[in-house]
A and B are shown apart, each in its own frame.
Chain A
Amino acid sequence: MYGGGYIYDDTNNNNNQTDDAQKLEAFEARIAAGEKIEPQDWMPADYRKQLIRMIEQHAHSEIIGALPEGTWITRAPGFRRKLALMAKVQDEVGHAQLLYSAAETLGKSREDMINDLITGKSKYSNVFNYPAETWADTAVIAWLIDAGAIINQVANSKGSYGPYCRALERICTEESFHLKYGHDNVVFLATGTPTQRAMVQDALNRWWPPIMHFFGPSDKISVHTETMMRWKLKMASNDDMRQKFLDMYVPKIWDLGLTIPDPNLRKDEATGQWQYTEPDWDEFKKVINGGGPCNKERLAVRKMAEERGEWVRKALMKRDEQYITPLA
């Protein structure tokens, strides 16, 4: 699950001048015509670089995203929830697997990506740096974070890079199970006992700011969107995705009699746009740069898992082989 909060590389447009102008023109024409780019195709160096960065961040978000919900895996109440939560967290691991493979087709090995994750060089979605304090947090995450992710991923699955689009198609199918499961879970809590209801309202209050951050900075302050859009790396603007999310989910939240902790949130009937309090982008930047409540723990856990699994991997590793990039 991932939103629009990708951190793009600084695009230096001069990069493209070193690429063959004719090839670039043909490349852009193919994209404009709706064709998919495959790993073996020629592509501008900057396209490759941005894609690797984007898919890698998405993959990291899935594997780190397994941790907040995983917090409750041993405590899920009842067989139905226990099995569903396990299957959901397992899917996130599966998504990481699919996305690392898609990024690998562009020439960066999984080992390099994991190294960049655990040293903090490469980012992942900011929402996962917040704690899942109660059982209800898992319900809110599964419903609303996954809903946000679907909006972003459905858009991106119509992008230009074949392997990423194929991975996203499969991921979106699985996310729709997550969304249903999350909604079901929230509905049970919201229509349950006063304790259950208070629990889910509390979780929603805590998760609302990270959810608003999830789609990334406002278009006004977000950079490099134009090239990304032309190359079909980014298919919708952050603000558009946020609007779409609010349009689809705020009414559903209100249907349950839950409140959203933003007094300015309302739909302007004249423009059809949602009005809301501008999310705190300084907080967003602070968390991205390691200052969130769980950044340290998330990375330490990931590192621990790699470290404790190392003997297993090392035992079966064949050193005389050469690494070959996966095909598609």
Chain B
Amino acid sequence: MSNGEQHTTAIKNLLFRMADDELIIGHRNSEWTGLGPILEEDIAFSSMAQDKLGHAQALYNILHSMGEPDADTLAFTRNEKNFYCCHFVEYPIRDYDFSLMRHFLFDTAEAIRFDMLTKSSCQPLANLAKKVRGEIKYHTMHANIWISQLGKATDESNIRMQAALNECYPLALGIFEKSDYENELMESGVFDGEELLQKVWTDIVTEVIEKSNLKMPDINDANLSTLAFGGRKGYHTEYLQPLLDEMTEVYSIDPSAEW
């Protein structure tokens, strides 16, 4: 592989990882539309799910401009082996505590990632990162307020949020699983790398969690900290393929049709 080819492959890999994460979490969170805990929050949560899908579409569009198929084909025709999302986004929505905690942990990482990418040498990605900044600001504000209020509210809500955190935290580490292109991306100034991202994320998450009367889970156990890995290489949980089957049910009646 020439240097140029390798550079393109590295960028595409980053775009796929990000786009697939956004698509799957957006899809999952959309499941709450019409079923949320109170009308007002139902509306807010649905808006953010729409934003995630919008980010996925924009990222697939960049891939399309680099010679890949269009966004719909990328999202609605690949099977799980060719998806590079992390395991964390694949899990079912469960109760609102789980969905909210995932929203908090994922969106915090997303916000930092996009912030880092505003300085990316990959111009379309830098432009997109600047464009979505306002949206993501609302998402993290929403997450922080909800986590901190429910963490501090009652014994029941505190216990629920702590349990959700204990479960989500090891899974969230899968967000930062490195790909084979990590060095190339860093050297060419496309992205400052998962390690730095995770470091900044841990600091911010710890601060919010501690302010919310919750405790950071202890994940020194190596097994626990790599539990959720594999997604970036196409290995997924039992939840992804059924999710994709459901999502593409209508589209795959005739992928060549205009829907």
In residues 20-72 of chain B, which contact A (Cβ within 8 Å)? 27, 30-31, 33-43, 46-47, 49-50, 53-54, 56-57, 71-72
Please, how many angstroms separate the alpha-carbon atoms of A188 and B254 in the complex? 13
Beyond A86-B46, A86-B50, whether A74 also contacts B34 by CB under 8 A is no
Main secondary structure of the interface of A (DSSP, over half): helix
Encode B105-141 as 1/0 by CB contact (under 8 A) with A. Answer: 0000000000000000000000000000000000000
* A82 proximity list for chain B (CB < 8 A): 30, 53
Number of A interface residues in the complex (CB < 8 A): 43
A79 with B157: CB separation less than 8 A: no
A74→B247 contact, CB < 8 A: yes
Q: Which residues of B contact A96 (CB under 8 A)?
A: 39
Given contacts A93-B42, A135-B250, contact A74 B31 (CB under 8 A): yes
- Of B33, B46, B57, B248, chain A has the most CB atoms within 10 Å of the CB of B33
**Chain B residues numbered 230-259 whose CB sits less than 8 Å from any CB in chain A:** 246-251, 253-254, 257-259
Q: Is A92 part of the binding interface, using a Cβ–Cβ cutoff of 8 Å?
A: yes
Interface digits, A70-94 against B, CB 8 Å rule (1 contact, 0 not)? 1011111111011100110110111
- Interchain CB contact under 8 A, A74 and B246: yes
Query: In whole angstroms, what is the CA distance A311 to B43 when docked?
Result: 19
Within the complex, what minimum Cβ distance (angstroms) separates A113 from chain B? 11
Q: Is the CB of B257 within 8 A of A75?
A: no
Q: Are B150 and A316 in contact (CB under 8 A)?
A: yes
* Assembled-state Cα–Cα distance A83/B22 (Å): 13
Is there contact, CB below 8 Å, between B33 and A73? yes
Q: Does A121 contact B (CB under 8 A)?
A: no
Partner of A311, one of B27, B157, B247: B157
Q: Is A83 a contact partner of B50 (Cβ separation < 8 A)?
A: yes
Q: Which residues of B contact A220 (CB under 8 A)?
A: none
Which residues of chain A are near B43, meaning CB under 8 Å? 90, 93-94, 97
In chain A, what residue has the closest Cβ to B75? A79
CA distance A76 to B72 in the complex (A): 11
Instruction: Name B44's closest neighbour in chain A (CB-CB).
Output: A90
Bound form: Cα–Cα A305–B34 in Å: 9
In the complex, the answer to whether A77 meets B251 with C-beta atoms within 8 Å is: yes
Q: In the complex, what distance in Å separates the CA atom of A316 from the CA atom of B75? A: 38
A17 contacts chain B at the CB level, 8 A cutoff: no
Mark interface residues in A303-317 (1 if CB within 8 Å of B CB, else 0).
011001111111110
Chain B interface (Cβ within 8 Å of chain A)? 27, 30-31, 33-43, 46-47, 49-50, 53-54, 56-57, 71-72, 75-76, 95-96, 149-150, 153-154, 156-157, 160, 246-251, 253-254, 257-259
A residues near B, CB below 8 A? 63, 66-67, 70, 72-79, 81-83, 86-87, 89-90, 92-94, 96-97, 100, 135, 188, 192-193, 195-196, 301, 304-305, 308-316
16 A-B residue pairs with CB within 8 Å: A63-B39, A67-B34, A70-B33, A74-B30, A78-B72, A81-B259, A86-B46, A90-B43, A93-B33, A93-B42, A97-B43, A196-B254, A196-B257, A308-B37, A311-B157, A316-B149
